[in-house]
Structure 1
Amino acid sequence: MAHMQKQQEYISQLDGLRAFAVALVVLFHWFPEGEGINVIANGPVGVTLFFVLSGFLITRILLANRNHLATHGLGATYKNFMFRRILRIFPLYYLTLLVIWCIQYIDFIPQVPSRLYDYPLYYLLYISNFLIEKLHDWSDVLSPFWSLAVEEQFYIIWPFVVLMVPQRFLKGTLIGTVVLGIASRGILGVLGYSDGVLMPTCLDAFGLGAIWAYVSYYDKSVEKFRKLLSILALIGLAVFLYICFNNTDSWLKTLFFRTSISLFCLYLVAGASYKKGFPSIFGKVLDNGFMRHIGRISYGLYVYHMLVPTLVVPFIIKFLHRFLHITLTFSENSLKMVSLVVLILLATVSWYLFENPFIKLKKYFQLNRVKATPTSTVISE
């Protein structure tokens, strides 16, 4: 019988992983690309780790929700899932868009380069990844929102897959999802869509997370899976490093760059979410209170990290100079340190005063916990 590790609602080490993921993205965008600390493709690793995490957590939630299909039906189960996602994601996303839109009319506030002003619908409809693929403009301060668009598109489609595919076909479907992710990069690459920002091209990352959700939820030979994963993660890491240090466009890179990172990220996610997580020094780092806090506010950090150095800090400097006659000048490195402090403070305030009140509304969208199997557990989203 599926014993399934008794999981609390909150898996602490996953917040530690979120902290690593968002730190890699910030490093990637705040320091020169392809040199120094960014010789490794830190940004893609961070984003892929978020995708694998999402694939795991969302699939686990949906597997638990399968128990409610008989009593609630597909429509109510899907609606419940989407409302909970919306409460977590929409408020901060749309508030940020509103602020960026409004500052164009205020002369005193530093203006930021964004395609939001020219193509607002792409952002409003969560399809800014299509805009990136169309314009290839990575100078837009909102360009990192492509991954939020991908996540949202995944959330819309994925419940139908997990809730409707019969359990005996589910494992094959999840493996097929990984293959589809790899194949879609090849097909779209041939068609000239090679930025890798369209949702199908990310399906291998989501799908690998989903496979671990399936294996751990139904307790399908977990130890065997983890042994195999250790080997695949090492191969993935080797392929990833090879591509990083031989930075030429190739079929290997197009097809397997994201998959190679995804395998390594899956090793981290599986280790952090199985039983009590990593037991080593690494586990202690993931469980550290500060790391868990950074993970908890990681959505805000991700949303704000491009805006702090280009908008918030320049605004503070300008404000202090104009109204308090304080002139601040920073070296490039000290400006980064100030930006980091401001970013963490802003995301913390945003979490407690704005995001968390919406999250608390999730309790109104909770399917009655029908314990159809002993494995039904509540999983943190």
Structure 2
Amino acid sequence: MKYNPQLDSMRALAALAIIAYHYLLFPAGWIGVQFFFVLSGFLISGIILNGKRQYKAQGMLTFFKVFYNRRMRRLFPLYFGYLGLLGIFYLFTKKPEAINSEWLWLLTYTLNFRWLFDSYTFHMVYGHLWSLALEWQFYLVWPFFLWKLPEKYFFRVMFILIFMAMFIRIMEYVVCNHITYLVGYHGTPVKEALAPYVLPFSHLDAFVFGALLCDRRFRHFLCKPVIAYLCISVTLIAGLVLVMVIPTYSFASLGWPTNLPSAFQWVWGYFLLNLTSAALIANLIQRKDAWLFSFTKLKLFQHLGKISYGIYVYHPIIIFITLGIDAKIHHFPGSKILELLIVMALTSFAAHFSYELWEKRFLKKKKVIKTTVKPEPEIVYN
């Protein structure tokens, strides 16, 4: 699959939605994280499935050595660089105080598990890193699974895993809500539904839908206008129906609040969001000139998508600083929207300079395997 800069624009849109969510102006913006999971599943699965064919002569060990070298050079410098900044700030100010008790979970990419404990102390400047921990855990398991999966069983196994993901969410919900020192034990519906949101195997179907997008026939089916618009319509209608019948669901959340706490939405809701995300990605790949994706051709959005990793990592600390200033200034109509735009701009500048001055130093050192067979233009499994 060739590099598609328009997918970067969708990354940008997802990242900006997440900023709006954390700035408390768009309660449904967290769905951007879900879109990232599906897109990661597509991109990483494509690398693995192509690698199985291209590097058969070199062997699995050679391929994965380079694969993980590239992943670490892309992810680790920014992640641990950010933790280093937080650590330096803590040494001089002793804030945020919780860093002292949470640093080990942060350093080991296990913060998503830490979220489940009653003793966990949340702070917005590092709380968002749970999703990066979840993705790294996915990178440690999924590539080997795909490599070993026989081609003839690809579709059958993928569809089984989609339903298995919903079963896993049910089991995680039940088990975690019966352990006394976890937040779900006699907790609120939002806390009870936390485990299916932050545990890695809960989002197995997100990565599976991403992997299915590597198949040309599946993409052609999912990108049909009637299928794509049906997915979007069902997602919106289901949410609005829940808004009408569940008092705690606000219209601003479009019926998709964090953790999807009611109506067993934590079971089926992620499936629907993942399917809709996959349909959007399939359409952008196969029908990239559609009017719906006109904005994805803008160079600004494409660049923001290119630095979206930095946007996601840095945005909470910029929001934290902005909220501190916000409490001391006079508000006027529309001031929150203006503040959000300023936060987005400052975060984008921070991510841009981080990418140019820090991350690129490591990206230039990525190793490339010399292939012995001609690369396949498409992955198609029977």
TM-score (norm 1): 0.81
Q: Which residue is equivalent to 2:357?
A: 353
Q: How does 1:364-379 map to 2 (within 5 A)?
A: 364=367, 366-371=368-373, 374-375=376-377
Output the amino acid matched with 1:121.
L
Match of 1:253 in 2: 265
- Report the counterpart of residue 114 of structure 2 in structure 1: 131
Q: Closer, same or farther in 2 for the Cα pair 1:114/1:268, shift >3 Å?
A: farther
The CA deviation at 1:93 is: 0.2
Deviation at 1:335, TM superposition (A): 4.2
For 1:261 and 1:292, locate their aligned partners in 2 and report how far apart those are by CA, in whole Å. 23
Counterpart check, 1:49 vs 2:23: no
Counterpart contact for 2:45–2:211, Cα < 8 Å:
yes
Task: Give 2:346's match in structure 1, choosing from 331, 342, 358.
Answer: 342
CA contact (8 A) 2:18 2:32 kept: yes
Deviation at 1:207, TM superposition (A): 1.0
| Aligned residue number for residue 149 of structure 2 | 165
The 3-state SS of whatever aligns with 1:71 is coil
Q: What is aligned with 1:186?
A: 170
Residues 176-225 of structure 1, C-alpha deviations (whole Å, 9 max, x = no match): 22222211111101112631101001111111111111x22xxx364334
In structure 2, relative to structure 1, the CA distance for the partners of 1:137 and 1:261 (3 Å cut) is farther
Give yes or no for the alignment of 1:208 onto 2:201: no
C-alpha displacement of 1:232: 4.2
Counterparts of 2:143 and 2:59 in 1: how far apart (Å)?
Answer: 13
Shift of residue 375, structure 1, vs aligned partner: 2.5
The answer as to 2:5 corresponding to 1:19 is no
Distance in 2 of aligned mates of 1:264 and 1:352: 33
| Deviation readout 1:3-36 (Å, 9 max, x if unpaired) | xxxx53x20110110011101100100125xxxx
What is the match of residue 139 of structure 2?
155
Q: Which runs of 4+ in 1 moved over 6 A?
A: none
Q: 1:103–1:89: structure 2 CA closer, same or farther, 3 Å change rule?
A: same
The 1-side partners of 2:357 and 2:364 are apart by: 12
CA RMSD of aligned residues (A): 2.5
Report the counterpart of residue 292 of structure 2 in structure 1: 282
Q: Secondary structure at the match of 1:141?
A: helix
**Match in the other structure for 1:30:** 23
Which residue matches 1:239?
238
The two structures have a TM-score, normalised by structure 2, of 0.81
Name the aligned partner's letter for residue 356 of structure 2.
Answer: Y
Worse overlay, 345-354 or 137-146? 137-146
Residue 180 of structure 2 corresponds to none
3-state SS of paired residue (2:125):
coil
TM superposition shift of 1:241? 4.2
CA distance in 2, matches of 1:244, 1:13: 33
Of 131, 138, 141, which aligns to 2:125? Answer: 141
Cα pair 2:124 2:317 within 8 Å, conserved: no
Q: Distance in 1 between matches of 2:75 and 2:279?
A: 26
* Aligned residue identity for 1:105: L
Q: Which amino acid aligns with 1:100?
A: L
The percentage of counterpart residues that share the same residue type is: 26
Which runs of 5 or more residues in structure 1 are unaligned? 1-6, 318-327
Match of 1:344, as an amino acid? S
Tell me what 1:198 maps to. Answer: 199
How many pairs does the alignment contain? 340
CA distance 1:103–1:187, change in 2 (3 Å): same
Number of the residue aligned with 2:190: none
Q: CA 1:88/1:50 → structure 2, altered by over 3 Å: closer, same or farther?
A: same
- Letter matched to residue 12 of structure 1: P
CA contact under 8 A between 1:243 and 1:253: conserved in structure 2?
no
Secondary structure at the aligned position of 1:282 is classed as helix
The separation in 2 between residues aligned to 1:361 and 1:373, in whole angstroms, is: 22
Superposition deviation, residue 270 in structure 1: 0.8
Using the TM superposition, give the Cα deviation of residue 282 of structure 1 relative to its aligned residue in structure 2, in angstroms. Answer: 2.6
Deviation at 1:268, TM superposition (A): 1.0
Residue type at the aligned position of 2:370: N
The answer to which of 254-263 and 334-343 deviates more is 334-343
* Structure 1 residue 172, shift from structure 2 partner: 1.7
Q: Please list, as runs of the form range in 1=range in 2, the aligned pairs for 1:76-87 lying within 5 A after superposition.
A: 76-87=62-73
Contact 1:313 1:339 in 2 (8 A): no
Instruction: Give the whole-Å Cα distance in 1 for the aligned partners of 2:371 and 2:323.
Output: 46
Give the Cα–Cα distance (whole angstroms) in 1 for the partners of residues 283 and 98 of structure 2. Answer: 40
Aligned to 1:322: none
